[in-house]
Amino acid sequence: MIDVWAEKYRPSSLNEVVGQEAIVKRLKSFVKTKSLPHLMFAGPAGTGKTTCALAIAKELYGDNWHVNLLETNASDERGIDVIRGKIKDFARTMPLGDVSFKLVLLDEADALTKEAQHALRRTMEKYAGNVRFILDCNFSSKIIDPIQSRCAVFRFKPLAELEIINYIKKVASSEGLEIDDNALRALYTVSFGDCRKAVNIIQSCASLTKSITESVIFEAASYARPAEINNIISLALKGDFIKSKDLMTNLMLKYGLSGIDAVKQIQSHVINLDLPNELKVKLIDRIGEYEFRMVEGSDEFLQIEALLAQFCLIGKGA
């Protein structure tokens, strides 16, 4: 059986959760009093939403947490039948232990259809006496207002650089890995504050070498080096379209970058360039346009070339 480090090193209690101190403090008070409202955890991936939900269950029920928790992934089971069947069947039975309610964790709740969400609203009301719902979602705007109003909403934030680095150092120490400071900074760059992604990248790197460097991180994450992206942007702004296009095409093929990945990297570098704000605004506006075209299904290589052509025109003041 393949060991997945993201699960292996998942915190088992609220005390071990990092980067969400204000949220953890409020959740601890709920657990201490054994009085819990319906909860909604919203925020980016890999920031501790599911971990907090599982930690609540473990601290409330101890060894009985498995039988008192129904965990379902709404992205797989997103229809109304799940609400009417699986969840209602679980909600009809009483909890085991000294806590007066059971927990239903709806992971990826923003994937539920509107019909399923309306059915869920009624289920939350009907079984409020012995069931508490925890809705985990990336985009709270996709959850209907009647459900949001029934929940205490907690908004998770991406982990800060120091928090990611300290957590990875702990993992690296446990696995006997050597990782230098440049590699740690590169890992934060490619993970965007997603702790789960950072741990998975480290596991990929560990399969290649026990001594992890910056270059190993970028290769494992299929992420172009910042200097390479900066060079392409610089050439485009100077009007050297052919060279910038060729370098970007080679880069996408070398690292296996999709067009969306390439656009996101270009955007992150444009923000940090030493350019007048007016010029940055124009560049970001073009980036948004061509990212939308790719999302809608346009050819990614053609759109990347068109984006670099726009950079050339803007660089020349056109």
Instruction: Indicate which CATH number applies to the domain containing 300.
Output: 1.20.272.10
Specify whether 231 is located in the same domain as 207: no
- The confidence band for 74, taking pLDDT boundaries of 50, 70 and 90, is low
Kindly tell me if the per-residue pLDDT of 259 is higher than 80. yes
Q: Which residue range(s) make up the domain with 15?
A: 5-155
pLDDT tens string 160-208: 889 999 999 999 999 899 998 899 999 998 888 888 899 999 998 888 8
In the chain, the percentage of residues whose pLDDT exceeds 70 is 96
- The confidence band for 73, taking pLDDT boundaries of 50, 70 and 90, is confident
Specify whether 188 is located in the same domain as 273: no
- The confidence band for 83, taking pLDDT boundaries of 50, 70 and 90, is low
- The confidence band for 87, taking pLDDT boundaries of 50, 70 and 90, is confident
Specify whether 197 is located in the same domain as 238: no
pLDDT tens string 126-171: 888 888 999 999 988 899 999 999 999 999 998 888 999 999 999 9
The secondary structure of the chain, three-state, reads CCCCHHHHCCCCCHHHCCCCHHHHHHHHHHHHHCCCCEEEEECCCCCCHHHHHHHHHHHHHHHHCCCCEEEEECCCCCCHHHHHHHHHHHHCCCCCCCCCCEEEEEECHHHCCHHHHHHHHHHHHHCCCCEEEEEEECCHHHCCHHHHCCEEEEECCCCCHHHHHHHHHHHHHHHCCEECHHHHHHHHHHHCCCHHHHHHHHHHHHCCCCEECHHHHHHHCCCCCHHHHHHHHHHHHCCCHHHHHHHHHHHHHHHCCCHHHHHHHHHHHHHCCCCCHHHHHHHHHHHHHHHHHHHCCCCHHHHHHHHHHHHHHHHCCC
Specify whether 84 is located in the same domain as 46: yes
Q: What pLDDT is recorded for position 2?
A: 55
Specify whether 54 is located in the same domain as 151: yes
Kindly tell me if the per-residue pLDDT of 99 is higher than 80. yes
Domain boundary residue, one of 103, 126, 155: 155
Specify whether 9 is located in the same domain as 151: yes
Specify whether 44 is located in the same domain as 116: yes
Q: What pLDDT is recorded for position 1?
A: 39
Q: What pLDDT is recorded for position 52?
A: 92
Specify whether 211 is located in the same domain as 232: no
pLDDT tens string 56-70: 999 998 888 888 988
Domain boundary residue, one of 104, 120, 155: 155
Specify whether 75 is located in the same domain as 15: yes
Specify whether 151 is located in the same domain as 200: no
pLDDT tens string 1-48: 357 888 888 888 888 888 889 999 999 999 999 888 999 999 988 899
Instruction: Indicate which CATH number applies to the domain containing 169.
Output: 1.10.8.60
Specify whether 104 is located in the same domain as 173: no
Our count of domains for the chain comes to: 3
Domain boundary residue, one of 100, 127, 155: 155
Specify whether 150 is located in the same domain as 173: no
